[in-house]
């Protein structure tokens, strides 16, 4: 089915543009987003038409930017939504679901947005894939570029986790490590866009198309809940793009009559070492004040979040809240999630679970209503964070006596 995308729309002044390579408004410099003709889609985009699609984000092609001849599809999306009964019990909530986006081709939710961005980039005649990244985006861009035979230039802070650098470099593109933080990287990329017109920076000049990929999280959650919306969703925040587009995804499904009921309440999750949105929310501030990040949750370490103001508005209008958790809580909750549900998440997943727990404790998340937690990246991506604590229980010699002695001192009963 063809896409019902009509073009670009200014998020500030409403000016419209064709679906071309443009990312800010000529009149007000506001950010642009992809617009759709949902009236035309009424009755054409149905539960049945979606269910007949592929097991990837492209089952929602009608509600994504036009990919051109064929999408760049490495298999992003259609990840499991798991009922988490054991974790729910520990957290004291009734109905908890994990949207397990560790299961994407390169192990993070970024595959959704990159698949969208590079599909549009190819349609628009770009020839090189690029991005400013906190790590996961670089990996996904490099992988998708390799998949279509494009060169890639990915730009990251040089002190990122070794595992994320390796996971990016292995795909053979150019990886530039910047001596600075993500906000420095992003500024640099805005300058590079002007110098390299053939380069598609997924999250800079392709950002309107990139951002749409996050809607598929909302689409999948609805479909996997039997075409119903959850009551509450906890979303990790970096630039805030995922959050705003999850809200847009639920809204589009409601408008098309694919699901019913009120908008789910969305909750944000940040690490206290980089919590510009949580801070503005709790202080009741008008604006999001940039911070200098210092947290192990590197994938969320954006001190000056582009979508921050939109997230803040949404949190205030819809009765949401935003958690802010310490690195110790992040590590504890990576363990808690692994030990109760068998799901190994990266630091961002620890942030989501720790923030969820915090907001249940302070009563802003209703424990009696359904909750979906977005687990956005795989634990193998941030192994550095846990290698010192997740180790062998004991080191023994290869003898029965040594094993038995170790088991005794660990108080492991022979009957169990």
Question: With binding defined as CB under 6 A, does residue 304 bind ligand PLP?
Answer: no
DSSP 186-229: HHHHHHHHHH-TTEEETTTTTHHHHHHTTHHHHHHHHHHTTS--
Question: Least distance in Å: CB of 306 to ligand PLP?
Answer: 8
Within 10 angstroms of residue 95's Cβ, the number of other Cβ atoms is: 17
Question: Which span sits near ligand PLP by CB under 6 A: 102-110, 142-150, 320-328, 394-402?
Answer: 102-110
Tokens matching residue 42: 């009424």
Closest CA to 177 of 192, 205, 157: 157
Closest CA to 335 of 324, 320, 346, 319: 346
Beta carbon nearer to ligand PLP, 4 or 97: 97
Question: Least distance in Å: CB of 377 to ligand PLP?
Answer: 3
Question: Least distance in Å: CB of 71 to ligand PLP?
Answer: 20
Question: Least distance in Å: CB of 269 to ligand PLP?
Answer: 9
Question: With binding defined as CB under 5 A, does residue 30 bind Zn ion?
Answer: yes
**162-221 binders of ligand PLP (CB under 6 A):** none
In this structure, the dihedral spanned by the alpha carbons of residues 339, 345, 347 and 350, taken in order and rounded to 10 degrees, is -50
Binder among 104, 136, 152, 382 for ligand PLP (CB under 6 A): 136
Three-class SS of residue 103?
helix
**Strand arrangement, sheet containing 152-157:** 174-178, 152-157, 128-132, 199-201
Question: Least distance in Å: CB of 207 to ligand PLP?
Answer: 10
DSSP 49: H
Q: Helix and strand tally (H, E) in the chain?
A: 15, 13
**7-26 binders of Zn ion (CB under 5 A):** 10, 12-13, 15, 25
Question: Which span sits near ligand PLP by CB under 6 A: 3-11, 86-94, 185-193, 238-246?
Answer: 238-246
Which residues are near ligand PLP by CB under 6 A?
A: 108-110, 136, 236-242, 299-300, 346, 348, 376-377
Which residues are near Zn ion by CB under 5 A?
A: 10, 12-13, 15, 25, 27-28, 30
């Amino acid at each position: 089915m063809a896409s019902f995308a009509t073009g670009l729309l200014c998020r500030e002044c409403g000016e419209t543009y064709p679906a071309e390579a443009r990312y800010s408004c000529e009149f007000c410099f506001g950010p642009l987003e992809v617009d759709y003709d949902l009236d035309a889609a009424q009755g054409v985009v149905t539960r049945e038409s979606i269910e007949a699609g592929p097991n990837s984000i492209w089952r929602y092609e009608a509600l994504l930017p036009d990919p051109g001849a064929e999408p760049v599809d490495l298999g992003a999306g259609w990840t499991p939504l798991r009922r988490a009964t054991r974790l729910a019990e520990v957290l004291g909530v009734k109905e908890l679901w994990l949207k397990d986006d560790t299961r994407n081709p390169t192990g993070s939710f970024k595959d959704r947005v990159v698949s969208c961005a590079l599909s549009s980039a190819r349609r628009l005649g770009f020839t090189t894939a690029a991005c400013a990244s906190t790590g996961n985006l670089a990996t996904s861009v490099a992988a998708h570029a390799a998949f279509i035979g494009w060169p890639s230039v990915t730009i990251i802070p040089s002190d990122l986790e070794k595992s994320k650098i390796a996971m990016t470099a292995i795909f053979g593109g150019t990886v530039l490590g910047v001596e600075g933080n993500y906000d420095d990287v992003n500024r640099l990329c805005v300058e590079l866009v002007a110098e390299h017109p053939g380069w598609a920076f997924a999250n800079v000049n392709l950002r309107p198309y990139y951002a749409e990929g996050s809607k598929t999280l909302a689409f999948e959650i609805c479909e996997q809940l039997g075409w119903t919306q959850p009551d509450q969703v906890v979303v990790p925040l970096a630039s805030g793009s995922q959050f705003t587009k999850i809200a847009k995804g639920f809204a589009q499904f409601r408008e098309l009559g694919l699901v019913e009921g009120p908008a789910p309440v969305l909750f944000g999750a940040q690490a206290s070492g980089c919590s510009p949105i949580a801070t503005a929310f709790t202080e009741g501030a008008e604006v999001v004040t940039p911070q200098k990040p210092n947290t192990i949750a590197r994938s969320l370490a954006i001190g000056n979040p582009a979508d921050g103001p939109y997230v803040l508005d949404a949190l205030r209008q819809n009765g949401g809240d935003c958690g802010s958790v310490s690195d110790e809580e992040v590590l504890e909750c990576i363990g808690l999630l692994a030990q109760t549900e068998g799901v190994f998440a990266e630091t961002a997943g620890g942030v989501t679970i720790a923030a969820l727990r915090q907001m249940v404790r302070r009563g802003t998340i209703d424990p009696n209503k359904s909750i979906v937690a977005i687990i956005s990246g795989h634990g193998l991506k941030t192994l550095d964070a846990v290698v010192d604590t997740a180790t062998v229980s004991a080191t023994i010699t290869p003898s029965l006596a040594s094993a038995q002695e170790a088991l005794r001192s660990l108080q492991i009963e022979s009957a169990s």
